[in-house]
Amino acid sequence: MSLKFVTDDEIELKGFKVLAVKTSKAPCGEGQFHYTREDLCIDSRLSCDGVNQCDQGEDESHCEGWQTFLGSLFQLGLGGMIGIGCAIFVFILTIVILICYFVCRKKKK
């Protein structure tokens, strides 16, 4: 187990958090990500999740854009995902209402 104190160097934003990660010594088994700087293994599900578990961000540096995006969404938690879902729903509903309005208006003329 490794404990890490992480800060965003900002006073007004998140501030800091303590990150606890279960680690094991290399060689890594199946389903584990090896970070070479410390020669440790972490669960591969922690790679590309938007959080640097490795000191130099090695677990996030090889990720493609969509993996980083999904990792960032999971960081929001349930409340954040519900908020995004509601915003998308309201946006789609607004588009549907506008389309219906203009179609009905066109039929009256």
Question: What does the mean pLDDT of the chain come to?
Answer: 78
Tens-place pLDDT, residues 47-87: 777 777 777 777 777 777 776 676 666 666 677 778 888 99
Q: Is the pTM of this model over 0.75?
A: no
pLDDT at 16: 67
DSSP assignment string, 12-68: SS--EEEEEE--EESSP-TTEEEETTTTEEEEGGGTTSSS--STT-HHHHT--HHHH
Q: Which pLDDT belongs to residue 93? A: 96
Q: What is residue 76's three-state secondary structure?
A: helix
Region class of 22: left (phi > 0), else alpha (psi between -120 and 50), else beta: beta
Rg of the chain on CA atoms, in Å: 22
Tens digits of per-residue pLDDT, 13-51? 566 667 677 888 889 888 888 877 778 888 887 777 777
